[in-house]
Structure 1
Amino acid sequence: MATFLYRRRLIELGVLLLALFVVGRLSISTGNVRVLIFASLFIFTLAMVAVIRERIIIFLIIYLAFMGLIRRALIPIASWSSFDPLLILAPSITVILAISLFWELKNHHNLGEEKPDKLMVTLFIFGCVQMFNPYSGSPISGFVAAMYIIVPWLWYFIAFYKLKQKDIGVILNIVEVIGTIIALYGIYQTFFGILPFEQMWVDLTGYAALYLAADTVRAIGTFPSAQEFVFFTMITFMIGFTKLTYKKNLLLHLPVVLITLLSIFFASSRTIIFFIAIAIFMVLILTKKTLIRKITTGIISIIVFYMIWMGLPNLNPAWFGVAEPAVSHMIEGLVDPLSEDQTGLGHIERFVDGMKSIFTNPVGHGIASVTKAADKSATTEAMSTEIDISNMIVAMGVGGIIYIAVVFTTIYKSIYLINKKKNLEYIISLAIFLGGFGAWINGGFYTATIITWLLVGWIHKQYSIYRGEDNAFSSY
């Protein structure tokens, strides 16, 4: 026994010395700094998964929300690479957690009688098959694309089987806190400019879409793209606004609403403003109990929105100092979004072309064609239409119709649940679905899509439970 313990200690010591040698060897080159950070975080996160399982999502959301800033901050000491190992931390942990869940489902049948939506299961299978679509180039492109498409869908199943209402409440609270902090940072970037290492990143990547003027860079927050920054800020706004509508901690949530709305405005993203207005409209109506209050609230809301829209031309962008280009860009786009000088018509044309592609290629071009995988691969043609509904038609052909069905049935299920019980989490989920309509799945998002599909999975679970209770009551 003593000999066995002695040999075991020698093996453990040997493994430790080998690990220290590898770390030391990698540390010699600054190019390996990102690999070392990834390895450390991966081991740490993997250990956390063994203890807290699906609640690791809280850590992953925080990590992903700041991942873009972390990657940019490493440029002065570790240079830059588009193939950064830090990008695969969250997808790797998600896949491990999902495999563990599916293994548990295979061997145990005590996770409840509720089953995931058949449309969602079919969609997931379609997506996995489309990883190997020959039209999208090499299989490697398909695997890269899976980070943006398949990984968020995995969280649908994890949430469906594992997350409870209290978990959703905690996640939403954390998103509200970090989203407000990031929104404030976005406002700082608008008025004081981006930091030097962030400018290095803009120059290295050639991110021309960030420039609103020759010397004005659009706010990007802590995210890899300005679009995801705005989307995540929208999620934070909808959380704060819904809680405010419920009259919960007015002094706490009013600043959240004002900060996030200003941040979105200064980020100069016009399309999402339209969907935020729709989400606000629906939240205000659905939170009212009587029909007369719903109608009155709807009429008042429409009048207020119209007055705000008519008053936009009276805003002088020069009032906002260095933010003048951003404000001018926002006002011009909102006042006349379909003019030749704006991008509104271009968005509509890309959407229509994407929908038409089902007739020219009903099998789709593969999920890689509408993600960043297309930008990273020399064998894949980038075909993103910038709207998820048409993107899924482009990527999966007839399979995209299933995606459209999932989107609209999810919205229906959310409204159904709200009518059954005006639960705060139900209304926040619907607000996020409507505010982010057209970007539930996005080939360039890392954080926001995970939150969205996590909520989709939870809503489907709650709907399944309520429908089961209704059917049981009817039978009785």
Structure 2
Amino acid sequence: MDQVNARIEKLPFGRPTALGVWVTGICFLIPAFYLFTHGQMRILIAFMFFGALLMSWTLNRTLGIAATFTFLLTLGDIRRILDMIAPSYQGLDLLLLVGPIFAVYLAVPLLMRLKVADTISKAVLALMALMIVEIFNPRQGSIIVGVSGALFYVIPILWFWIARNYATDRMMDTLIYRVFLPIGILDGLLGVAQAYVGFFPWERDWALKLGNQYLYHAGHMRSFGFSTGASEFASTLLIASVCVLAAIFAGKRAYILLLPILLAASLLASSRGLIVKLLFAGAMIWAVRSKGGKNWLPRFIFALVVGLGLTYYSASHAGGDEPRSAQSDTASTAQIATAHVTQGLADPGHSTAGLHWQIFVGGIVKGFTYPIGTGIGAITLGAGKFAAGGATMGSSEVDISDAFITMGFFGGFLYLFIIYMVFRLAFFYIREGSLSMSLTYMGLFAALIGAWLALGQYSTAPFIWFCIGSLVRKQSLLQSAGFQSKSSNVKALKNVTASRV
């Protein structure tokens, strides 16, 4: 155990120094003053956010991670409010680059001295290398398209390496239950207010300017909370709901009080997939919570069937006719959102599950049609913005089939292998780790399967890969310590992950 503690002390958690903070601050003041005097307000604000993240990281690792994900989770409203002060012009918003640049800043030094021994890290490294090669795939057109695709493929995976080196239990508890969950609750409250009360002026102006991704029925806007879009809003609610369910099944009954807020917001988010994914995650959490996950499959099937049955019964008795005439009042917006969800769950004729399945299978087939893939930028928004005559195609909306499309069948199978190994590791943690965190991990991986590399989601994709990296770190520390017995593993897991941040 002394060897384990000595090894932990050598890890680069870092200790804050007043000199480092002052030097960092002074280095940012000079260019900030230049940008201010030349009227480059949008660049200045992006620069200030990056400086704030860098200083918080210098002060404390956990503080830096908490600040980064707080920024990513509220990035949508930050951009919308800033657009009133300094309107953005056509092109890439520099605020979208703050998180990726910070991830590169943290990850590159780690990758330069990288040593991998575990299977997941080797597979992730191979996947990332393949993604970098696919940046130059000529089928997607300009290399700029490939670089834009890297924002949604390579950047989230960088957070895996960051967590693999820095994530402790204290950091993960802070990130999940003191950052993501509270912001998810506030996000849900804002979403409910947007559906029933209306949108703030900056939110409405922004949504009307961008159009289709915010509008879903006769000009009515769907709720999007603090997020950059409705899909990321739904994923944020899903993550927060899973965290609450995991805490409840781990014996923290007070978290039940948070469920009504999240369930109401989820219903008003007008996302049927969100409801189904939450049922899937809830069934998985319940199935693995006892007996160390043994015989989990029959329990999971039973819970999922019961959950889907109750959902169908509730939706079929609650769903009314969707209003045919568009109304401008906010009450009809909530009514339309609710009807959209309940009708899709109660009536297969209103469901788009069959269409999504066809698109998913079509994506898998494309992996064999184009064995080298189409490039990681071919299915992103960057293809439409930067492509100049290149071959582009839309996303299948499931990252597994997207992996086959963008990286060919080899990349698709490699990604499937990573998913398998991550779930295998999560089951190990169910047996060896703390109940609360192990249920949280399992629920998150199950809920977001098919969206670990969700396009256009600047917070949730980095978050899930950060969680994966933290689990791999626990495994690596145990293996490097050389513990063999189950009882020793339990003690070691608690000791090595309780190190000071």
| TM-score (normalised: structure 1) | 0.86
Instruction: Give the drift of 1:94.
Output: 0.7
Query: Which of these residues, 29, 34, 43, is aligned with residue 42 of structure 2?
Result: 34
1:361 aligns with 2:366: no
| 1:396-448 deviation line (CA, Å, top 9, x unaligned) | 00212101111122112212221334532121011011111111102211000
1:147 aligns with 2:156: no
**Counterpart position of 2:189:** 184
**Counterpart position of 2:431:** 419
Q: Indicate the larger mover: 253-262 or 172-181.
A: 253-262
CA contact (8 A) 1:276 1:435 kept: yes
Q: d(CA) in 2 for partners of 1:284 and 1:203?
A: 42
Q: Give runs of aligned pairs for residues 71-470 of structure 1, distance below 5 A.
A: 71-81=79-89, 82-103=91-112, 105=113, 117-173=121-177, 174-206=179-211, 208-248=212-252, 250-251=253-254, 253-289=255-291, 299=302, 302-317=305-320, 321-322=331-332, 323-337=334-348, 339=349, 341-379=350-388, 380=390, 381-397=392-408, 398-465=410-477
Q: d(CA) in 1 for partners of 2:118 and 2:368?
A: 36
Secondary structure of the 1:262 match is helix
Secondary structure of the 1:224 match is coil
Q: d(CA) in 2 for partners of 1:293 and 1:94?
A: 37
Secondary structure of the 2:449 match is coil
Q: Against the structure 1 CA distance between its residues 39 and 209, is the aligned structure 2 distance closer, same or farther, given a 3 Å change threshold? A: closer
Instruction: Give the drift of 1:372.
Output: 2.5
CA contact (8 A) 1:234 1:276 kept: yes
Secondary structure of the 1:57 match is helix
Q: Against the structure 1 CA distance between its residues 50 and 292, is the aligned structure 2 distance closer, same or farther, given a 3 Å change threshold? A: closer
**Counterpart position of 1:5:** none
CA contact (8 A) 2:372 2:407 kept: yes
| 1:184-239 deviation line (CA, Å, top 9, x unaligned) | 10111111222222221122222x24333224211011111100110011001111
Q: d(CA) in 2 for partners of 1:268 and 1:116?
A: 36
Q: d(CA) in 1 for partners of 2:269 and 2:27?
A: 50
- 1:449 partner letter: A
Q: Against the structure 1 CA distance between its residues 26 and 360, is the aligned structure 2 distance closer, same or farther, given a 3 Å change threshold? A: same
Q: d(CA) in 2 for partners of 1:238 and 1:373?
A: 31
Secondary structure of the 1:148 match is helix
| 1:29-48 deviation line (CA, Å, top 9, x unaligned) | xxx32111012222332333
- 1:452 partner letter: I
Q: CA RMSD in A?
A: 2.9
CA contact (8 A) 1:94 1:154 kept: yes
Q: Against the structure 1 CA distance between its residues 421 and 79, is the aligned structure 2 distance closer, same or farther, given a 3 Å change threshold? A: closer
Q: d(CA) in 1 for partners of 2:197 and 2:384?
A: 31
CA contact (8 A) 2:131 2:154 kept: yes
Q: Structure 2 unaligned segments of length 5 or more: list them.
A: 1-25, 323-329, 489-501
Secondary structure of the 1:212 match is strand
CA contact (8 A) 2:120 2:418 kept: no
Q: Structure 1 unaligned segments of length 5 or more: list them.
A: 1-13
Instruction: Give the drift of 1:62.
Output: 0.3
Q: Against the structure 1 CA distance between its residues 80 and 19, is the aligned structure 2 distance closer, same or farther, given a 3 Å change threshold? A: closer
- 1:259 partner letter: I
Instruction: Give the drift of 1:470.
Output: 8.1
CA contact (8 A) 1:114 1:461 kept: no
Q: d(CA) in 1 for partners of 2:92 and 2:173?
A: 34
**Counterpart position of 1:3:** none
Query: Which of these residues, 48, 69, 72, is aligned with residue 64 of structure 1?
Result: 72
**Counterpart position of 2:499:** none
CA contact (8 A) 1:367 1:396 kept: yes
Q: Against the structure 1 CA distance between its residues 170 and 442, is the aligned structure 2 distance closer, same or farther, given a 3 Å change threshold? A: same
Q: d(CA) in 1 for partners of 2:27 and 2:171?
A: 38
CA contact (8 A) 2:280 2:446 kept: yes
| TM-score (normalised: structure 2) | 0.82
- Identical-pair percentage: 25
- 2:403 partner letter: M
Secondary structure of the 2:216 match is strand
| 1:151-197 deviation line (CA, Å, top 9, x unaligned) | 11011111112211221111111111111111110111111222222
Secondary structure of the 1:153 match is helix
